[in-house]
Amino acid sequence: ELKVEQNPLFLSMQEGKNYTIYCNYSTTSDRLYWYRQDPGKSLESLFVLLSNGAVKQEGRLMASLDTKARLSTLHITAAVHDLSATYFCAVDRPNFGNEKLTFGTGTRLTIIP
Amino acid sequence: GAVVSQHPSWVICKSGTSVKIECRSLDFQATTMFWYRQFPKQSLMLMATSNEGSKATYEQGVEKDKFLINHASLTLSTLTVTSAHPEDSSFYICSAADSGNTIYFGEGSWLTVV
């Protein structure tokens, strides 16, 4: 059974600080996704990571993937209040195509002014 | 760009009644769509895979007779929660992928059963 774990579950940061969210998954997968969810809203796609060593950056967020370690990280640089949200990683299921996702537990990020 | 749209955005129904949620792919055809459920402050859990022209595939522990899925066309899947109870109150989200395997999520539908 594919399991996806994130840590921390809750993160409270001061503005301007850096931090990293970790995502571990238990079996081989082809794609690793990062999503943002604001309260009461659906998911906003942030990154899709396809291969070992992949690194993608958008603004203050940078995601990386280590398929050998089955680990992805989402790094936040110089956090600002607008980044407060819940962040989910998700992986596709082996042998079930790339469309069916298993989500991590989520990390609720709060940026404190 | 491609969009997946859900309707309604929120619905309140009485316990024991049924409610239908629609998921449409607006710019592409999707032979497969997925339904997820998210309880407050929890993650998304896959409920079922909706297959155009055939029966849906349900995840372990999801009652197929309670959550009826119909995928009658290449752009529409519906989820009907039958005999709804307060514990069915949740956020329901659908997804579909285009021909390039880009996954799109719907806006979600809040269901409250009173």
In whole numbers, what is the pLDDT of chain B averaged over residues? 95
Residue B44 DSSP SS3? strand
Q: Does B47 touch chain A (CB under 8 A)?
A: no
Cis peptide before B8 (omega within 30 of 0): yes
pLDDT given at position A97: 65
Q: Which residues of A touch B (CB under 8 A)?
A: 33, 40-43, 45, 88, 90, 97-106, 108
In whole numbers, what is the pLDDT of chain A averaged over residues? 94
A27-72 confidence digits (pLDDT tens): 888 899 999 999 999 999 999 999 888 999 999 999 999 999 999 9
Looking up tokens 């859990």 gives: B45
Q: What percent of chain B has pLDDT above 70?
A: 98
pLDDT at B111 exceeding the cut of 70: yes
B32-45 confidence digits (pLDDT tens): 999 999 999 999 99
pLDDT given at position B44: 97
pLDDT given at position B101: 86
Size of interface A-B (CB pairs under 8 A): 46
pLDDT given at position A51: 87
A100 and B44 in contact by Cβ < 8 A? no
pLDDT given at position A7: 97
Among candidates B32, B44, B103 on the partner chain, residue whose Cβ is nearest the Cβ of A103: B44
Could you give phi then psi for residue B88, rounded to 5 degrees?
Answer: -85, -10
pLDDT given at position B1: 59
pLDDT given at position A30: 81
- Contact yes or no for A105/A6 (Cβ under 8 A): yes
